[in-house]
Amino acid sequence: MNRVGICIAGLDGAVASTMVAGAALLKRGLTQPIALLSEPYVPSHQLARWNEIVFAGWDPRGEDLYAAALRNAVIPPATLRPVQRALAALKPWPAAADRIAAFRRQHNLDTVIVLNLLPTGENAASKQYARLAAKHGCPFVNFTPNDCDEQQLRDVPFAGRDGKTGQTWLKSVLAPALRDRGLRVTGWYSTNLLGNEDGKIVGDPVLGAAKIRDKSQLLGEMLGYEPFHTVRIEYFPPRGDTKESWDYIEADGFLGLPLQFRISVQYRDSILAAPMCLDLCRFLALAARRGERGNQRWLSLYFKAPYGGPPHDFFRQEQMLRQYLAAV
């Protein structure tokens, strides 16, 4: 057995409730493990199976996970119904309560992961949860753009920063493809419409500055030059968790003649983020079992602004991930 506990800061949020509900459905065989890069490695690398993962966490809202999942409205109520009782039984701890040791003992856990899913801008609280992780020797995931003072995590495996879910992931795929095709990008305009709680925060010009920075800084590194590049995030409540992103790209082709690309994508943001968080927790539990410490750069594929810096190119990041797993 390889029992893993996942303690989530922001347990009642959209990503966390989707992640926990998804794991409960997977445990019961009620859905397929789509979008989980970790799943093929479960037998060969002894990654935690769904019945070996236990969840807990913190949230000042105090809702049980079923109520939170209904409020967040990411997963249809009919899909949640078979796991209603399991979700309703899970209630968050008070903010920053030090319950990790007791949680580990209660569930006889081999590894406990601390996952930061706090709202953008909650830097002080993010640092506090990182300190708790360091205190208890827990691997730590920073899926937010917040400052967690990662230096305090040097004795545990950690990964971050700022999950690369939708538009930025697509940019990290397209930009290398345009570069390798020999096209010269002259301008790239990106905008997002998002209506959930995260959208309300990151749509604010002050509170969302870190998110805009993370979404903006990777393009020049991938292309090898800086085109004109604009990134916007607009809070639009009717969209809810269903984000809509638009990209307009201008490029020069053969003989200097122009090309234009127009890309429109619509998706539930938390449906992309939740399996990434499950992957990260499984992979960090593996790193802990191998005695790894400090920043796990092989997990950069999951982040907009990975600790340790570039590469941002998705294909190079995927190669780092596969190489690490092949060597284990």
> pLDDT value at position 197?
80
Q: Tell whether 213 and 142 lie within a shared domain.
A: no
Give the length of the chain.
Answer: 328
Task: Give yes or no for residue 126 having a pLDDT over 90.
Answer: yes
Amino acid at 211: K
> pLDDT value at position 1?
66
Q: Tell whether 67 and 128 lie within a shared domain.
A: yes
> pLDDT value at position 328?
83
Q: Tell whether 92 and 129 lie within a shared domain.
A: yes
The residue range of the domain holding 232 is 167-268
Q: Tell whether 172 and 152 lie within a shared domain.
A: no
Q: Tell whether 85 and 184 lie within a shared domain.
A: no
What is the CATH number for 217? 3.30.360.10
> pLDDT value at position 119?
93
> pLDDT value at position 211?
78
Q: Tell whether 208 and 299 lie within a shared domain.
A: no
Q: How many domains does the chain have?
A: 2
Q: Tell whether 112 and 181 lie within a shared domain.
A: no
Mean pLDDT of 306-315: 92
Confidence band, pLDDT 50/70/90 cuts, at residue 295: very high
Q: Tell whether 212 and 315 lie within a shared domain.
A: no
What is the CATH number for 87? 3.40.50.720
Confidence band, pLDDT 50/70/90 cuts, at residue 280: very high
Of 125-129, 233-237, 298-302, which range is least confident? 233-237
Q: Tell whether 159 and 290 lie within a shared domain.
A: yes
- Long-range CB pairs of 229-233 (<8 Å, 24+ gap) are 229/187, 229/188, 229/189, 229/190, 230/188, 230/189, 230/190, 231/190, 231/191, 232/190, 232/191, 232/192, 233/191, 233/192, 233/194, 233/199, 233/202, 233/203, 233/208
Q: Tell whether 64 and 80 lie within a shared domain.
A: yes
Q: Tell whether 149 and 289 lie within a shared domain.
A: yes
Q: Write the pLDDT tens digit of every residue in 11-20.
A: 999 999 999 9
Q: Write the pLDDT tens digit of every residue in 182-230.
A: 999 999 999 999 888 878 887 777 777 877 888 888 899 999 999 999 9
Q: Do 110 and 247 touch, CB atoms closer than 8 A?
A: no
Cβ-Cβ contacts under 8 Å for 262 (sequence gap 6 or more): 246, 247, 248, 249
Mean pLDDT of 221-250: 92
Confidence band, pLDDT 50/70/90 cuts, at residue 98: very high
Q: Tell whether 93 and 56 lie within a shared domain.
A: yes
Amino acid at 204: D
